[in-house]
Amino acid sequence: MAQTLAHRKKNAAALLLSVPLVVFALVFVAYPLASGIATAFTSKSLLDPTEAFNGVDNFVSIFAKPAFLNAAGFTALFAAVVVACEMVLGFGLALLFDRKFPGKKLFFTLTLLPIMIAPALLGIMFRLLLNEDIGAIPALLQSVGLSVSLFSPSSVIPLLVVLDILQWTPFTFLIIYAGLQSFPRELLEASSVDGAHFFRQLWHIVLPVLKPVLFAAFFLRAIDAIRTFDVIYVLTAGGPGTTTTTLSIYIYKVAFEQGDFGKAAAASLVVLICLLPFVPFIVKRIASTGMEGK
Amino acid sequence: MTTITEPDTHHDALASVRRSRDRRPSRWLFTLLIGAIAIAINIPLLNAILVSMKPDGEIARNPIGLPQNATLDHYANVLYASGYDFPKFFVNSAAIAIGTVILVLVIAVPATYAIVRLGFGGRWIIDSASGLRLLPAIFFVVPFFILFSNLGLQDSIPGLILANTFLNLPLAIILLAAGLRDIPTEVEEAGSVDGAGIFRTLYSIVLPMLASTVVAVAVLVFIFSWNDYLFALVLSSSNATPVTLGASNFVTSTGIRWGDISAASFLSTLPPLLFAVFAQRYLVSGLSAGAVKG
């Protein structure tokens, strides 16, 4: 009897404590999700907020022109290249940091700074650095006789790749370095008694143990790279032409430059559906890391 | 939140391996190498600081070197010159970031306690939070714009606080759940034997033990909402404009005010940078736990 009373009290308390979350989730998660899906099947626009059901017209019009698929292609290519580079460089940097040396604390802090800077503000800083009239980089290139137009169609993509690597390698570095610190040291000591070579140890012992951490760093970066918006929008607004239009920039432009909410919602829905199958997989893999030893 | 990765407390995971093949290469070599990398990735920031201290005439004339006639005029312009709204943008950003931190904690702390300790909803809520974090934010941009227009929240500070709360709640719940699981339940059980109610247990026993996680969540949420650009771009037009949007507003009829822009962009990154320096422990533990404990 007392048991059930305590139980009931516990349930009531749980409910009460969760009310703010439930209300917020209904109004600002469930409702926008539902309205986003519904909007995809209407002709709703910025200027005409009345909803008129138009079936799959929006989806047809997305695929009728190459713009959406081009944006998807650019986004996939961009994400694949930057994440691959950031994983390798972040891992290398973590190995470099994994020792004692003078000034380590200072450089550790410095290395993390790019993560803290708003991508939009970093975009402005890149612009200051790269501008043809006042930028240090064009001036430097000119002084060695190179006159490259950094934002021309042929060089703008490599440029954006380099800038993304500059900002986000510190993130992969941090995650991998943190994983390296909780590395079971006995494993290495045991194998170094065997005289195992450094790179063999790296390959056969360190990498397998770090796999969950590498996996987490990889997927968090990949997801962020796929939704890239800020830096590219600030620097090129998706141009020249549509060369650097990511999916996020494409959807933003359809919604707020063309004013076509229905089409933007439809494009968002297509992206969402393409990413959705990966979500449970990633959640399971990352969550299982966190449950270790519990 | 067990992976504290301060560089001074770490234990050189691979050092034992290296020691066997160590020909005592100077540690200063690593200082030099890593120092160069750490400075190189911060060139955009350092360049912005240099530009901000050059007088207008010098910016184009001397794009590479140190300022020859260093000046703080640009900072004075940004802060005091009439016609610029930068101080307002800065206050807006602060209000949005602080408001978001408070709202996120008010919603997430009790709810996470109910989920983890009182069995509310169960594991799937944490999993949905992880899943929500992986979905592209762009999907929610159009629904939020429509919802906020209907609710009269467009271009308002409360509106941007709600939007940023939406963006940051998943990470907060994930981190708080991980932090809670690290606290032994015996302490709370002892409390309830003493007759402390659930609310008092949460407030006076759990919260103090959860303090470092709460601080980590607060620091991360502050930085992420300070740095938001996409939702600010869509949901604000003038009244609620934050610095990420307003820092590049220094384009006048006489041209682009590069010096003022660089001063504004540096000032705008200062709060997150100060956190990176003075609250690094919480940042590092929050980011790495957020990555692996999703």
Each residue of B69-105: pLDDT tens digit?
899 999 999 999 877 889 999 999 999 999 999 999 9
Q: Which of residues 216-275 of A touch B (CB under 8 A)?
A: 216-217, 219-220, 223, 226-227, 229-230, 233-234, 247-248, 251-252, 255-256, 261, 264-265, 268-269, 271-272, 275
Judge residue A139's burial from the number of C-beta atoms within 10 Å of its C-beta, 0-12 exposed, 13-18 middle, 19 or more buried.
middle
Q: Are A140 and B64 in contact (CB < 8 Å)?
A: yes
Which tokens is A134 given?
């006042």
pLDDT at B192: 67
Q: Are B136 and A275 in contact (CB < 8 Å)?
A: yes
pLDDT at A191: 67
pLDDT beyond 60 at B225: yes
Q: Are A118 and B202 in contact (CB < 8 Å)?
A: no
pLDDT at B36: 96
Residues B245 and B149 in one domain: yes
pLDDT beyond 50 at B9: no
Q: Name the strand (E) or helix (H) holding B252.
A: strand B251-252
Counting one residue from A and one from B, how many pairs have CB atoms under 8 Å apart? 363
Q: Are A278 and B134 in contact (CB < 8 Å)?
A: yes
Residues B92 and B73 in one domain: no
Q: Which domain does B36 fall in, by range?
A: 24-80
B286 assigned to some structural domain: yes
Residues B161 and B246 in one domain: yes
Q: At B5, is the pLDDT very low, low, confident or very high (cuts 50, 70, 90)?
A: very low
Residues B93 and B151 in one domain: yes
pLDDT at A292: 34
- DSSP state string for A51-120: --B-TTHHHHHHHHSTHHHHHHHHHHHHHHHHHHHHHHHHHHHHHHHSS--TTHHHHHHHHHHHHHS-HH
Q: What is the pTM of this model?
A: 0.91
B245 assigned to some structural domain: yes
pLDDT: which is higher, B247 or B214: B214
pLDDT: which is higher, B59 or A81: A81
Tell me if B74 sits within 8 A of B262, measured CB to CB: yes
Helix intervals (H) in B8-71: 15-21, 27-40, 43-52, 56-61
Residues B57 and B96 in one domain: no
pLDDT beyond 90 at B262: yes
B117 assigned to some structural domain: yes
Cα angle value B61/B64/B65 (rounded, 5°): 90
- Could you report the predicted ipTM of this complex, rounded to two decimals? 0.91
Among A8, A10, A17, the residue to mutate for chain B (most B Cβ within 10 A): A17
B7 assigned to some structural domain: no
B4 assigned to some structural domain: no
* Amino acid at the residue B267: L
Report chain B residues whose CB lies below 8 A from the CB of A125: 44-45, 47-48, 262, 265
CA distance A188 to A192: 6
Residues B69 and B95 in one domain: no
Give the length of chain B. 294
pLDDT at A287: 58
A53 in contact with chain B, both atoms CB, cutoff 8 A:
no
Q: Are A96 and B30 in contact (CB < 8 Å)?
A: yes
Per-residue confidence in pLDDT tens, chain A, 294 aa:
556 777 787 888 888 999 999 999 999 999 999 999 999 999 988 887 777 898 899 999 999 999 999 999 999 999 999 999 999 999 999 999 988 899 999 999 999 999 999 999 999 999 999 998 889 999 999 888 887 788 888 899 999 999 999 999 999 999 999 988 887 777 766 666 666 677 787 888 888 888 889 998 999 899 999 999 999 999 999 989 999 999 999 999 999 999 999 999 999 999 999 999 988 888 877 655 443 332
pLDDT at A238: 92
- DSSP-based three-state secondary structure for B93: helix
DSSP state of A131: -
pLDDT: which is higher, A149 or B16: A149
B220 assigned to some structural domain: yes
pLDDT at B268: 96
Contacts of B280 (CB under 8 A, 6+ apart): A109, A112, B6
Question: What is the least distance, in Å, from the CA of A153 to any CA of chain B?
Answer: 22
What domains lie within chain A, and their CATH numbers?
65-290 (1.10.3720.10)
pLDDT at A294: 29
Which among A202, A216, A268 is the nearest to B142, CB-wise?
Answer: A268
- DSSP-based three-state secondary structure for A42: strand
Find the mean pLDDT for residues B215-230: 96
Mean pLDDT computed over every residue of chain B = 86
Distances (CA, A) of B164 to A256, B59, B103, B156, B212: 20, 37, 10, 12, 22
- DSSP state string for A211-232: HHHHHHHHHHHHHHHHT--HHH
Report chain A residues whose CB lies below 8 A from the CB of B34: 96-97, 101, 103-104, 107, 111
Residues B145 and B61 in one domain: no
Which tokens is B211 given?
């303090």
- DSSP-based three-state secondary structure for A282: helix
Residues B66 and B181 in one domain: no
Q: Are A13 and B265 in contact (CB < 8 Å)?
A: no
Residue for token pair 């089409």: A263
Cα angle value B92/B283/B228 (rounded, 5°): 30
CA distance A43 to A45: 6
Domain total of chain B: 2
Domain CATH for B162 = 1.10.3720.10
Residue of B nearest to A198 (CA): B17
Residue of A nearest to B103 (CA): A20
Residue for token pair 């504004």: B264
Contacts of A222 (CB under 8 A, 6+ apart): A79, A83
- Return the HEC string of B104-164: HHHHHHHHHHHHHCCCCCCHHHHHHHHHHHHCCHHHHHHHHHHHHHHHCCCCCHHHHHHHH
Residues B143 and B41 in one domain: no
Report chain A residues whose CB lies below 8 A from the CB of B102: none
Which tokens is B164 given?
């940023």
Question: What is the least distance, in Å, from the CA of A158 to any CA of chain B?
Answer: 17
CA distance A278 to B62: 50
Contacts of B257 (CB under 8 A, 6+ apart): B56, B77, B250, B251
The candidate with the shortest Cα–Cα distance to B100, out of B269, B221, B242, is B221
B263 assigned to some structural domain: yes
Q: Is the peptide bond before A240 cis (omega within 30 degrees of 0)?
A: yes
Residues B139 and B280 in one domain: yes
How many angstroms separate the most distant Cα atoms in chain A? 88
B19 assigned to some structural domain: no
Residues B179 and B110 in one domain: yes
Residue of A nearest to B56 (CA): A134
Among A18, A176, A177, A218, the residue to mutate for chain B (most B Cβ within 10 A): A18
Q: Of B80, B107, B124, at which residue does a domain stop? A: B80
Which tokens is B191 given?
């409390």
Residues B99 and B174 in one domain: yes
Q: Are B287 and A174 in contact (CB < 8 Å)?
A: yes
Q: Of B63, B80, B97, at which residue does a domain stop? A: B80
Q: Of B37, B56, B80, at which residue does a domain stop? A: B80
CA distance A270 to A75: 14
